């Protein structure tokens, strides 16, 4: 049976608590009082048992400050009415339970909204003045946060804020700014704190991390390992392309550098300039320089199988070759060899001169012998 109409006219004749009522048929419920809402004079409708701990509906009619509509169930506690749902005359709504819009509310959620269509506007927030809107929704595959206008005439940026300050900004063209509201690239990060890395990516163990920084000293990006206080650059699980250990030694192609720069592999360079840690061997050309004789050098080579002052093959295989020092040793040997050649050239010059004298003497003697032979021949005729 459907109740089509119920009309109850209640006329308030005196102050709250002193009323008379008349039941009539019609389409209206009227409450007439000249000072309704003043001094707390309200009209309330509820169960006869006003202090019941069970289901209750209460309607208070007064001015905006005092009018409200409340529903409660078992919430009359310690003499205080605690509604499960309340809406006051100013439009404020409060509920103690869960709310479902388009669906029964999820048991672990206070607000559950189900969009009737595939839409990013399941929950909608509109700006106070220009009708720009932010929506939250789900298309069945992806969760969405969208920014637009009610009439679809344009778009606006999206921001994530804390302390009412923009922390992340997404422009309408997809550029993302962290620490900046005007990103100039697909991702731009700015730090407001000096000496703080813009990006830090930690491993789950906390022993390794990737840092990108422009404000830190040194600048750049690095893979950092807290276990050995080292950083590296590269690809793969271990950054071996360029590695710097805790002592500041740099390794290229190795994570165990033993010098300021250790390279495992070949180096291709157009030119290399080496600062000398030893002096150049020009002292070899000083008159006071003690140049070993070739006999002494020969004796040393016969005994050691390498030149004096030059590391042996075993030493070079074990300790490597110090390029600057070795260059100076080889230059010294070239200069000593030059002195030997100059000395030998002088000796050859002397021998050549002596040979010329001997050749002249031999020529003179040959002429004398020829004359003597001629004279002997004539004497026999």
- Strands in 187-189's sheet, in edge-to-edge order, are 158-162, 165-170, 176-178, 187-189
**Final residue belonging to a domain, choices 223, 239, 268:** 268
Per-chain mean pLDDT for the chain? 76
* 164-209 pLDDT per residue, tens: 889 999 999 999 999 899 999 999 888 777 666 667 777 676 666 6
- Residue 170 has a pLDDT of 93
Cα–Cα distance, 86 to 94 (Å, whole number): 5
Q: How far is it, in rounded angstroms, from Cα 331 to Cα 346?
A: 22
Q: What is the pLDDT of residue 184?
A: 93
Both 363 and 297 in one domain: the answer is yes
**pLDDT at position 199, please?**
75
Rounded to a whole number of angstroms, the CA Rg of the chain reads: 53
**Cα(212)–Cα(217) distance, rounded to whole angstroms?**
11
Q: Which of 200, 177, 181 lies closest to 189 in space, CA to CA?
A: 177
The whole-model pTM stands at 0.50
Rounded Cα distance between 96 and 356, Å, is 129
Residues 21 and 75 in one domain: yes
pLDDT of 19 over the 80 cut: no
Same domain, 13 and 76: yes
Residue 149 lies in a domain: no
Q: Do 264 and 285 reside in the same domain of the chain? A: no
pLDDT at 57: 65
Q: Do 248 and 316 belong together in one domain?
A: no
Residue 185 lies in a domain: no
Joined together, the tokens standing for residue 174 give 């997809």
Total number of domains in the chain: 3
pLDDT at residue 23, rounded to an integer:
44
Range of the domain at 285: 281-372
Q: Which two tokens stand for residue 173?
A: 């063209």
As a whole number of angstroms, the distance between CA 136 and CA 14 comes to: 52
Same domain, yes or no: 257 and 339: no
How far, CA to CA in Å, does 73 sit from each of 52, 77, 279? 9, 11, 99
Question: Which one of 2-11, 133-142, 305-314 scores highest in mean pLDDT?
Answer: 305-314
Q: Which of 268, 300, 327 is the last residue of a domain?
A: 268
The most confident of the ranges 66-70, 98-102, 297-301 is 297-301
Q: How far is CA 115 from the centre of its chain?
A: 38
Chain segment 36-54, per-residue pLDDT in tens: 545 445 555 555 455 554 5
For residue 4, pLDDT beyond 70: no
Cβ-contact 285, 339 below 8 angstroms: yes
Give domain status of residue 134, yes or no. Answer: no
Q: Which residue has the tokens 């016969």?
A: 302
Query: For 307-329, what is each residue's pLDDT tens digit?
Result: 999 999 999 999 888 888 899 99
- DSSP code of 231? E
Same domain, 299 and 326: yes
Least confident interval from 72-76, 113-117, 230-234, 340-344: 72-76
Question: How much is the pLDDT for 379?
Answer: 78
């Amino acid at each position: 049976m459907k109740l089509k109409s119920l009309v109850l006219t209640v006329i308030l004749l005196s102050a709250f608590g002193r009323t008379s009522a008349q039941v009539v048929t019609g389409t209206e419920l009227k409450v007439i009082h000249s000072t309704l809402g003043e001094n707390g004079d309200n009209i309330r409708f509820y169960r006869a048992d006003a202090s019941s701990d069970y289901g209750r509906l209460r309607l208070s009619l007064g001015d905006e400050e005092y009018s409200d509509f409340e529903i409660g169930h078992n919430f009359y506690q310690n003499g205080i009415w605690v509604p499960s749902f309340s809406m006051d005359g100013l439009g404020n709504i409060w509920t103690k339970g869960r709310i479902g819009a388009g669906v029964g509310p999820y048991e672990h959620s206070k607000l559950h909204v189900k969009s009737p269509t595939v839409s990013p506007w399941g929950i909608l927030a509109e700006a106070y003045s220009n009708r720009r809107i932010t929506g939250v929704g789900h298309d069945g595959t992806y969760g969405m946060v969208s920014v637009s206008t009610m009439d679809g005439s344009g778009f606006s940026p999206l921001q994530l804020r804390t302390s009412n300050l923009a922390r992340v900004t997404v422009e309408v063209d997809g550029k993302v700014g962290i620490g900046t509201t005007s990103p100039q690239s697909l991702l731009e990060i700015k730090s407001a704190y000096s000496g703080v890395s813009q990006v830090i990516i930690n491993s789950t163990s906390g022993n390794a991390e990737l840092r990108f920084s422009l404000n830190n000293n040194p600048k750049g990006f690095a893979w950092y390992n807290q276990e050995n206080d080292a950083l590296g650059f590269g690809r793969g699980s271990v950054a071996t392309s360029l590695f710097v250990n805790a002592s500041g030694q740099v390794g290229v192609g190795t994570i165990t550098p033993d010098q300021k720069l250790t390279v495992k592999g070949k180096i291709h360079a157009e030119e290399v300039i080496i600062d000398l840690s030893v002096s150049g061997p020009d002292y070899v050309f000083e008159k006071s320089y003690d140049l070993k004789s070739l006999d002494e050098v020969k004796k040393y080579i016969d005994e050691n199988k390498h030149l004096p002052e030059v590391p042996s093959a075993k030493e070079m295989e074990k300790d490597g070759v110090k390029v600057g020092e070795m260059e100076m040793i080889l230059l010294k040997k070239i200069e000593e060899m030059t002195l030997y050649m100059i000395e030998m050239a002088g000796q050859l010059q002397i021998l050549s001169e002596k040979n010329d004298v001997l050749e002249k003497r031999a020529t003179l003697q040959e002429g004398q012998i020829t004359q003597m032979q001629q004279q002997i021949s004539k004497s026999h005729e």
